[in-house]
Chains A and B, each alone.
Chain A
Amino acid sequence: MADGNAHVAAKSFYEEGTTKKSTGITSWLFSTDHKRIGLMYLVTITAFFFVGALFGVLMRLELMAPGETIMGAQEYNTLFTLHGVIMIFLFIIPGIPAIFGNFFLPLQLGAKDVAFPRLNLLSYWIYLIGSVLVILSLFMQGGPIDTGWTFYVPYSVRTTTSVSLPLFAAFVLGFSSILTGLNFIVTIHRMRAPGMNFFRMPLFGWSIYATAWIQVIATPVVGITILLVIIERSFGVGIFDPALGGDPILFQHLFWIYSHPAVYIMILPAMGVVSEIIPTFSRRTIFGYTPIAMSSLAIAFVGYLVWAHHMFTSGMSDTSRVIFSLLTYIVALPSGVKVFNWVATMYKGSIDPKPPFLWVMSFVFLFSIGGLTGLVLGSITADIHVHDTYFVVSHFHYVMFGGTGTIVFAALYYWFPKMFGKMYNIKWANINALFYIIAFNVLYFPKFIMGYQGMPRRYYDYLPEFADLQMLSTIGSWIMFATLVSIFLNLYLAIKKGKKAHNNPWGGVTLEWQTSSPPPLLNFDREITVNHEPYDFSQLKELDYESK
């Protein structure tokens, strides 16, 4: 066995796979190696991200000037629906868990793979099938779906566009999410290296654990809801039709019972990545390990109790509105615990502002704006004024794109040397971070102002007084798209021509930095035993790392 391990250590997972041939497309598509599966998700999800971003740019082009610019109302309806469906279901929900969870969770736990490698591959295939169904639905009779990503009834039952197939695609994608979550829960319970108890686990693991529970418990709810809409469209049973004894608001309850916790599926893993990056680049152990870990669980739990704050103007009972508004404020507490602990970690730290750290700082800034405007929306009276306006659009782009999206890039910059064994151009990455935060605010901040002034969301046209801010936002979308292309160009060139990365370029102390870059098939060339806290930087003296 020792000989076998030594042999394995000589080759990276690119050179040695789990299939008979270690190269070629089949060695990837049928690989049960968590690292290869993570990279397959990276490629697929990035492709969908660019499609979604392109749709976003096209929407902004339409809104560049009042009146019809490049498309009509129906095309615009289709475009914002597809932008939402792709970005939510194909990019941001699977994003961090599927790419970085798959690649780094076993590495951080000192495990050889996830608990169920074949199930992991199945999850990827289900994701792929679901995404193909989304694409197929564009070409079905009736034309592409135009309901918005929330699929609200009664419109989704009545519209003649192709609704059932994309809904079914979301149903299929849900299974991928559930199976990934299940795999991670079992991996965390059963695969931790000897000596690594729950409280020696890196905080990324805790956030993935909390996320996985939401994936397993909440996703079936949306699955059932989607099936109910398909049944309604096919048979007209009347579940959501008041004329037949049904209730359209029931759909909104069911939809948000999943989709609000889903917001935490999106943001919790991002918070986990932040908790990894800040200690590494501050050279300081995390401040408040236990509160951060527990706040992940608290967010996951309280996240179940706030869904109806999406429905303040829907006509549900006043009692519900008051209760859900109150509960919404409570969810701000664990998020605040995290932000304050991150800032306290940096206090008196030896800060090294490398690209991953700069991206995390962008996150803290953008996410704080997103989070605080969320409190405006959580208050019933203010919400009634800005409900269904650009204010909401801006809020969730600050939270989702400014929060999770930013951290996808931070994670990519942080773990890229480990994943590919190559280093990207640091100066270029820093410039990208600067342009990103400028583009982001030019693109989305005007929407807060427009929303407050009454610009409704999902309209392809607007009154002339919004023209200047709309134009400004469109210019922001161009800078943003160019920045996104630049980010991936830098990384692509690094893969092709970048210089070889050190095994531990940032001086990290979690286990993924204690193996080669890229790691061998079974992750480590030795048996792992853990006898340190996860962010104990006194270990650095013994560890090999690239100094400044």
Chain B
Amino acid sequence: MEHVNTEHKTHSHGYGIYVLVWLALIALTSITVTVAGVDFGKLALPIALFIAAVKSALVINYFMHIKFEEPIFKVFLLLSGTTLLVIFILTFFDVFYR
């Protein structure tokens, strides 16, 4: 029964937030494209990745409803995200020092 309630709760937020998130995603994509035209040198990649991370966070939290789920899902997601971050950092040792 508890499950049904949680399910119901997630849908009661209305669709306005989804439109806002969608607009934010479009805005962030435009920023990515604009920033790509500016020469930031070695910082260009981290900047692009940072914007992409913000976009992912929005999609995961709102479109995938993780914001409204139990903590265990957040822990699992954090674990996957951290692994990915570590893999990115380690790969950068090749990208930046080759």
Contact = CB atoms under 8 A, between A and B. Distances in A.
A317 B93 contact: yes
Nearest to A314: B94
Interface in A257-289: 257
A316 B90 contact: no
Contacts of B87: 257, 304
Interface string B69-93: 0000000000110010011001101
B98 A316 contact: yes
Nearest to A300: B83
A324 B91 CA distance: 10
B94 A304 contact: no
Contact of A320 (B79, B80, B86, B94): B94
B83 A316 contact: no
B97 A318 contact: yes
Given A316-B98, A317-B98, A323 B93 contact: yes
B97 A304 contact: no
A213 B90 CA distance: 20
Contacts of A324: 90
A257 B86 CA distance: 11
A253 B91 contact: yes
B96 to A, nearest CB: 8
Contact of A319 (B79, B80, B93): B93
Interface in A15-64: none
Contacts of B83: 217, 304
A37 to B, nearest CB: 25
Contact of B94 (A213, A216, A305, A308): A308
B22 to A, nearest CB: 25
A249 interface: yes
B98 A323 contact: no
Contacts of B98: 315-317, 320
A253 B80 CA distance: 18
21 contacts: A217-B79, A217-B80, A253-B91, A253-B94, A257-B87, A304-B83, A304-B87, A305-B86, A305-B90, A316-B94, A316-B98, A317-B98, A319-B94, A319-B97, A320-B90, A320-B93, A320-B94, A320-B97, A323-B90, A323-B93, A324-B90
Interface-central residue, B87, B94, B96, by most chain A CB under 10 Å: B94
B80 A317 contact: no
Interface of B: 79-80, 83, 86-87, 90-91, 93-94, 96-98
A304 B93 contact: no
B86 to A, nearest CB: 7
A18 to B, nearest CB: 25
A308 B87 CA distance: 11
B83 to A, nearest CB: 6
A308 B80 contact: no
Contacts of A317: 93-94, 96-98
Interface in A350-403: none
B90 A308 contact: yes
Interface in A296-345: 304-305, 308, 315-320, 323-324
Contacts of B97: 317-320
Contacts of A253: 91, 94
Contacts of B96: 317
A315 B97 CA distance: 11
A304 B97 CA distance: 21
A349 to B, nearest CB: 37
Contacts of B90: 305, 308, 320, 323-324
A216 B77 CA distance: 12
Nearest to A316: B94
Nearest to B72: A189
Contacts of A308: 90, 94
B91 A304 contact: no
A319 B92 CA distance: 10
Nearest to A252: B94
Q: Which 9 A-B pairs have the closest CB atoms?
A: A317-B97, A319-B97, A317-B98, A320-B94, A320-B93, A316-B94, A317-B94, A319-B93, A217-B80
A528 B83 CA distance: 37
A303 to B, nearest CB: 11
B15 to A, nearest CB: 30
A247 B83 CA distance: 23
Interface string A82-118: 0000000000000000000000000000000000000
A319 B93 CA distance: 6
A512 to B, nearest CB: 28
A371 B94 CA distance: 26
A318 B96 CA distance: 11
A304 B96 CA distance: 20
A317 B93 CA distance: 7
Contacts of A315: 98
A323 B98 CA distance: 13
A315 B94 CA distance: 10
Contacts of A305: 86, 90
Contacts of A257: 87, 91
A317 B94 CA distance: 5
Contacts of A304: 83, 86-87
A298 to B, nearest CB: 14
Interface string A404-430: 000000000000000000000000000
A216 B98 CA distance: 31
Given A304-B83, A319-B94, 5 more contacts: A217-B83, A304-B86, A308-B94, A315-B98, A317-B93
Interface string A208-225: 000001001100000000
